[in-house]
Amino acid sequence: MFHREGQKIIIITFFAVVAIVLSAHFYIGIQWIRIAVQVAALILLILILQFFRNPRRLVTPNFDEILAPVDGKVVVIEEVEENEYFKGKRKQVSIFMSPLNVHVTRYAASGTVTYSKYHPGKYLVAWHPKSSTENERTTVVLHTPKFGEIGYRQIAGALARRIVNYAEEGEQVTQGQDAGFIKFGSRVDLLLPLDCDIAVKLGQKVVGAKTCIASIRKKDD
């Protein structure tokens, strides 16, 4: 299954690859060059198909857990001052996606979209500390039954030049539901309440709509 955001690129790439393979067959006389061109074209098609893959992930919504919104590696876990919406301290968990990861963004929790805003910006490498506030990005806030308001940011990287965000203010969304897409290497920041328990570690690989990122802090007996 492939994501709808890749349909146009996949079709264009497919026909381009067919044209290259046929042209090489008829017009390149040197065998090793012809084969090299054809193999390179097929590899390009495979990479495009892999990038836009959209594996189906069945989720039973759980109000007590925040799930990973994307596939990737945890590169930041820290307390930050969030000044765009929350105007206060939040726990930030950042997930970096390489070009080989699934780039579908999924809602980390069920709730109501209370804020959704696009910000134009730079294209620093996605793991740069300033990418959260200076790069092209979207900020989305959800009001959830157990965690209150949580936020996430889709952040463009050095290669990612288009962010797709489906969140609309006032919309009711479900944990694991498709929330958007970021084309090529990028990052997503989760902005969580200070009183939640983080369930992942730095460097840990996570799977979107599968890995628990945070849970409700248990009260002491």
Q: What angle do CA 200, 172, 8 make, to 5 degrees?
A: 80
Q: DSSP characters for 84-146? A: TTT-EEEEEEEEEE-TTS--EEE-SS-EEEEEEEEE--B---TTSTTHHHHBSEEEEEEEETT
Q: Rounded CA gap, 63 and 105, in Å? A: 19
Catalytic residue among 94, 98, 186, 215: 186
* φ, ψ dihedrals at 218, nearest 5°: -75, 135
Q: Which of 165, 198, 177, 170 is nearest to 107 (CA)?
A: 177
Concerning whether 186 is annotated as a catalytic residue, the answer is yes
Q: Rounded CA gap, 37 and 159, in Å? A: 24
Do 104 and 208 meet the contact criterion of CB atoms below 8 Å apart? yes
**Taking every pair of C-alpha atoms in the chain, what is the biggest distance, in angstroms?**
79
Active-site residue numbers? 186
